[in-house]
């Protein structure tokens, strides 16, 4: 069961109103969609790339139709997938859902033994394909760029050596090798974390998806439309931060006594440039919320 992160904050910022239409770009178990649909007589178009989300969404269609529509697919393709028109809000809750992590068979978790898979849409290249077939240098680059893993080269060298005798098929095989190379770092932190994050981001092309999804939002939102992004690690948050900075770019001040003036071509307005983080109570109740960062902005006139 997925516990929606920062749900109150998301709903408050979106402030659903009757007859408005929102996009939930990452349906998951529908925690955000449900809260939005219950808040007012509005409509939601939801997407998810994971085929497992479809049967869950079918229950929503049964309950909320015609206010709810589900589209299986990636938010990077959102512009061509959603019905044409302009939207009042778009919400991204990035990363993986609890069922994806908890089901060992999906291969996302280093805490459980499962196939080394990690594919959100269950097709294409798996994490095992990458680990078993890529050159040492390519593996090292993936671990460095997507996991910021300082021991990337040593891990890649060991992987290539180990696969000569036994190809990698399980999460445990990889996690144990990484733990041996990286060694203990701090209490409560598994040294395999960065390697698993890197492979997940690479296999699912997640950073490119975020860039494309944010770009699509600029076109799909109407004036006054709200963009809300909840991210879970620094690479995701950095992309969101720089997108919003660029799109709401302020001109250099002509005097320090005058407020910043937005560039004429700025497409978003950020009323709050700081990140919003979950409260201590939410983190206590849902430890997965602890790394969540929320950023938001409002679409300016086109
Ligand atoms: C953190 S969960 C969302 C949870 C949801 N807010 C809820 O309350 O249940 C992220 C979901 O986004 C989906 N996802 C990740 N990247 C995606 C993409 N590029 N396009 C569409 N869905 C994506 C995942 O499959 C996962 O189900």
* CA of 34, closest atom in ligand 1: 8
Distance 46 CA to ligand 1 centre (A): 10
pLDDT tens per residue, range 252-273: 556 667 666 666 689 999 998 8
Summarize pLDDT for 164-199 with one digit per residue, the tens: 999 999 999 999 999 999 998 899 899 999 999 999
pLDDT at position 264: 66
Choose which residue among 1, 35, 55, 97 to substitute to test ligand 1 binding: the one with the highest number of ligand atoms within 8 A of its C-beta. 97
Question: Does 74 sit in the ligand 1 pocket, CB within 6 Å?
Answer: yes
User: Span 101-127, mean pLDDT?
Assistant: 96
Q: What angle do CA 288, 292, 294 make, to 5 degrees?
A: 150
pLDDT greater than 80 at residue 41:
yes
Give mean pLDDT, residues 208-213: 98
What's the pTM? 0.94
Question: In order of start, what are the domains of the chain with their CATH numbers?
Answer: 7-99+206-299 (3.40.50.150), 122-203 (1.10.150.170)
What is the model's pLDDT at position 87?
98
SS3 62: helix
SS (H, E, C) 105-126: HHCCCCCCCCECCCCCCCCCCC
Give 247-267 as a DSSP string: HT-EEPPSSTTSPPEEPTT--
């Amino acid at each position: 069961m997925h516990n929606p992160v920062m749900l109150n904050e998301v709903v408050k910022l979106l402030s659903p109103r009757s007859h408005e239409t929102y996009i939930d770009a990452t349906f998951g178990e529908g925690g955000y969609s449900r809260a939005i649909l219950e808040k007012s007589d509005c409509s939601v178009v939801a997407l998810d790339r994971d085929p497992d989300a479809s049967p869950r969404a079918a229950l929503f269609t049964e309950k909320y139709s015609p206010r709810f529509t589900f589209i299986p697919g990636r938010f990077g393709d959102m512009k061509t997938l959603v019905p044409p028109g302009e939207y009042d809000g778009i919400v991204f809750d990035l990363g993986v859902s609890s069922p994806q992590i908890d089901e060992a068979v999906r291969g996302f978790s280093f805490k459980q033994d499962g196939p080394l898979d990690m594919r959100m849409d269950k097709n294409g290249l798996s994490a095992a394909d990458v680990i078993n077939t890529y050159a040492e240098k390519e593996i090292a680059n993936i671990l460095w760029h997507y996991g910021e893993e300082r021991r990337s080269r040593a891990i890649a060298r060991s992987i290539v050596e180990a696969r000569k005798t036994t190809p990698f098929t399980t999460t445990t095989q990889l996690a144990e090798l990484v733990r041996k190379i990286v060694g203990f770092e701090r209490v409560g932190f598994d040294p395999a974390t960065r390697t698993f994050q890197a492979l997940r981001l690479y296999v699912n092309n997640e950073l490119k998806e975020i860039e494309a999804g944010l770009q699509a939002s600029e076109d799909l939102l109407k004036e006054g439309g709200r963009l809300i992004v909840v991210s879970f690690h620094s690479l995701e948050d950095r992309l969101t931060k720089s997108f919003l900075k660029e799109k709401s770019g302020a001109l250099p001040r002509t005097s320090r006594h005058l407020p910043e003036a937005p560039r004429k071509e700025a497409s978003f307005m950020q009323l709050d440039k700081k990140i919003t983080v979950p409260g201590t109570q939410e983190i206590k109740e849902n430890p997965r919320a602890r790394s969540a960062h929320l950023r938001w902005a409002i679409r300016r006139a086109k």
